[in-house]
Amino acid sequence: MVTFELLCMGIIAFLVGAALCFNGYRWFLALLPLLGFVYGFGMGAQTIQALFGGGLFSTATSLVVGLIVGLVFGFLSYLFYIIGVALVAGAFGYSLGVGFMNLIGIDLNLLTWIVGVITGLVVGLGTVLLNLQKWVIIALTSFTGAGVIIGTLLVLLGVITPGNLSANAVRAALSDSFLWLVFFVVLGVLGVISQVISSQRTNWEPQPTR
């Protein structure tokens, strides 16, 4: 049963996800430290889970490590734009790698973590070396926003509980209906198209590094 508090939080999360999905590039510079903290926190906590076992955020160690990594990512993102973009892009790539392994039915373990780290390094370094910051930012914010929207709907519809949102949202969505994945992809693509069009009038990025 959806409580009034959960409904209010869901509406706020849905609106934030929609703003990020369809207009994230415009707000990315202000959101960069926050995104750095969020991705760093999740990556740090998952690293402890992969290396030592246990549930995500179920131990004090995973929470502390996640907090430290998140603060470091957030602080560096605040001080240095290009480092922040590389860290956030790398963490996003890590999430993609781990998400893919979860999608094919492999839970978070050492192999999944290694795949995520390799994917993160490729995405992070490739973003900077190939000067793909704008396109990675657009893709990152579009699909992150789409994920927030999907996760919010999953909770409000009772498919998953708020506590399980970060652990098995993708698998829960697929077990409920494959259409959730289709909806996620379509929403992310629409966000990319919308941001590509709107970003033609927005140019806040520093000059290319190459």
Tens digit of each residue's pLDDT (9 = 90 or more) over 185-205: 899 999 999 999 988 766 555
- Which pLDDT belongs to residue 169? 56
- Which pLDDT belongs to residue 50? 79
Q: Which residue has the higher pLDDT, 206 or 135?
A: 135
Of 65-74, 84-93, 97-106, 171-180, the least confident: 171-180
Residue 180 Cα distances to 10, 150, 156, 172, 192, angstroms: 17, 8, 14, 10, 18
List, for residues 141-152, the tens digit of each pLDDT value: 998 888 889 888
- Which pLDDT belongs to residue 166? 53
Could you tell me what percent of the chain has a pLDDT over 70? 84
Strand, coil or helix: 107: coil
pLDDT band at 209 (very low <50, low <70, confident <90, very high): very low
- Which pLDDT belongs to residue 5? 77
Please choose, from the candidates 160, 150, 156, the residue with its C-alpha nearest in 3D space to the C-alpha of residue 181: 150
pLDDT at residue 68 is higher than 50: yes
pTM here is: 0.75
Of 62-76, 101-115, 130-144, the least confident: 101-115
pLDDT band at 208 (very low <50, low <70, confident <90, very high): very low
- Burial per residue of 69-81, b for 16 or more beta-carbon CB atoms within 10 angstroms, e otherwise: bbbebbebbeeee
